[in-house]
Amino acid sequence: QARSTMSGEPWNELALPAPSAQSSVLLPRDPQLLELCAALGGAANEARGALQSHRLRLDGGVLRSVLRVFRSRMRKHKPYRAVQQVDKCFTRLFDLKLELRLKELHGSCTSLPESMAGDAVYVPSRPFLEWMALLVMGASKLVLHTVAMCERAFLLVLHHLHLEEYITLNLLLTAVLSRLCVMCKPILLALVGLYSELRAVLRTVSSLHGVSMAKGFEFPDALAEWLGPDF
């Protein structure tokens, strides 16, 4: 389990400030480190692809439209409030701008400028890697929570459907919520895989580049274990 001596949990910040240090550092050329960076770049691209799902954004838009149209009639209904929580989760997920950060990470891992002599190469710096790791931790917790909210909202809407009220609306919501839940799971798996690659590069870079932006914070070795039994 990760432990922090900071106030609050840094991975839980919505607007986690970027490190003031440079995002890359010049280190001696190491074939093993270059392989790790290449794997990290691939994992970043995979996670970015999962987040860019057109269907995910489309169904998220359907939820927002339903909430807006039925606000006056259903704002006191439990299913409506549960769907509201799902919408808030997705809004926060998109507010993280994780796709943009993953694009930056992919670029920093696949475009590695060399020194003039060719015996050293620029790789992602320790502060940048730690920042990305915290973002991925926070996003993973949020996606896991979103899945739980989708499942809860689905059950409440299903119960409402059995009461034979707002049948068309509830059929639409059950379909949308089930799809959102299914689409969240590949995102979560991609983030868990990405974190594993991040930790591998971070261990190597940390041994060569000692400046940290997360003093007092212990990064978990495996994200799946850190997420707990819900994962």
pLDDT per position as a tens digit, 150-179:
999 999 999 888 887 788 888 999 999 999
Query: What does the pLDDT read at residue 76?
Result: 76
Report phi then psi at 114, rounded to 5: -100, 165
Query: What does the pLDDT read at residue 5?
Result: 35
pTM of the model: 0.85
* Residue-wise pLDDT tens digits, 65-100: 988 888 777 777 888 899 999 999 999 998 888 999
Q: Which residues of the chain, if any, have pLDDT below 50?
A: 1-7
